[in-house]
Amino acid sequence: MSARLSLLALALLVLAPALLGLVLPPNQAQFWTANILGRALVYGIVALSLTFLATYGGFVSLAQMTLAGIAGYALAILVEGAVPGIVGGLPYAAAVPAALLAATLAGLLVGAIAVRTRDIYLLMITLALAMGVARFAESNIDWFNGYEGIRNVVGPVLFGVPFRDPHLFYYVALAAAAALYAGVLYLVRTPFGLVLQGIRDNPRRVAALGYDVSLHRIAAFGVAGFIAGCGGVLTTIYNIGISPGSIGLGASVNILIISVIGGLGHPAGAFVGSLIFAVFDTFAASLYDRDRFNTLIGLVFLGIVLASPDGIVGLARRLGGLRRPSRAGEQPAPRPAETG
């Protein structure tokens, strides 16, 4: 996605609450702002951490929702006002950085544990870690309040406005998503990002160029842990708390689905996929038989993946390519003169 298209999308998202207010009654406009767009943004951030790993490093991890959950649990355990209060007492200004630190360290740990595996084995080891953490949270009462989880994580008061205000929540989520998205696009052009892409293509060659492949992989998981942690803080506040269900198998697989339908080829896919997921997850029950709406969701996702294995972003890229076959700078090289 070109920089111009990204900026256009950002402008549209900035104006979205106002535009929704023009076409929908106020309560519905608020619902769309917070519960569709806002939700799409915060889960999109979690999916972005997976898209970053998969697109640039070739690592498909099922532990990204777990890392988000570690940030969410850290926040819920530390922050003032959560119920039950486990440590409590910290203001959001201190608890949020602590939560992000916890997710980053956990990301590094996942990266270190999985460092020698790839493909299906990487998927399995991260799935095992994810399920282990969820089970641990579910069965531990002292720290995680077991099955019930921790409630009443309402977020801070910013500029005199409570965080539950749909517009405040939405704009904070948008600012975080935009900053992380831009950060990923910047990072992948630095030597660190280039090394990651080299690792995806040929790890042995990267090692022979003087880079420690294991350390770079672990660092990439640390970066992804930080991104997932940002998403985890926001999803926890969005859900006003966290419970083992929000980091369980279903939640972990949902992040994978979001990334895949959006497209594992560009960071924008995480947010596109998350928006589609939020819309269908919210409205499928009213469109189709109440007991079977999951079937509809499944069929839609199946359709998307069948029509375009690289997701919506890949589809858009191909359609754009058809319309503009020779965009300056991106046209394929003329067949090189035969030199050998």
Partner 1 sequence: MLVVRGLHVRFGQAHILQGVDLAVGPEPLAIVGRNGMGKTTLCQTIMGMVPGEGEISLDGEGLAGRPPNRVARAGLALVPQGRRTFPSLTVDEHLRLVAQGPRARWTIERAYATFPRLAERRRNGGTQLSGGEQQMLAIARALLMNPRLVIMDEPSEGLAPVIVDHLAEVLRGLAAEGTGLLLVEQNLRMAAAVCGTVAVMVTGRIAATMPAADLVADEALQRRYLGVAAGSH
Binding residues vs partner 1 (CB under 8 A): 189, 191, 194-195, 197-198, 200-202, 204-205, 207-213, 329, 332-333, 336-340
CB-nearer residue toward partner 1: 22 or 337: 337
Q: DSSP letters of 82-147?
A: -BS-SS--B-HHHHHHHHHHHHHHHHHHHHHHTTT--HHHHHHHHHHHHHHHHHHHHH-HHHH-GG
What residues are paired with 201 via a beta bridge? none
Tell the smallest beta-carbon distance from residue 136 to partner 1 (Å).
35
Tell the smallest beta-carbon distance from residue 116 to partner 1 (Å).
13
Nearest to 272 by CA among 179, 197, 181: 181
Tell the smallest beta-carbon distance from residue 197 to partner 1 (Å).
5
CB-nearer residue toward partner 1: 111 or 231: 111
Nearest to 234 by CA among 154, 128, 165, 130: 154
Tell the smallest beta-carbon distance from residue 84 to partner 1 (Å).
49
User: Contact 273/103 with Cβ under 8 angstroms?
Assistant: no
CB-nearer residue toward partner 1: 14 or 194: 194
CB-nearer residue toward partner 1: 124 or 209: 209
E strands within the chain?
A: 150-151, 157-158, 161-162, 241-242
Tell the smallest beta-carbon distance from residue 215 to partner 1 (Å).
9
- SS3 label, residue 81: coil
CB-nearer residue toward partner 1: 160 or 210: 210
What residues are paired with 255 via a beta bridge? none
> What number of other Cβ atoms are within 10 A of residue 331's Cβ?
10
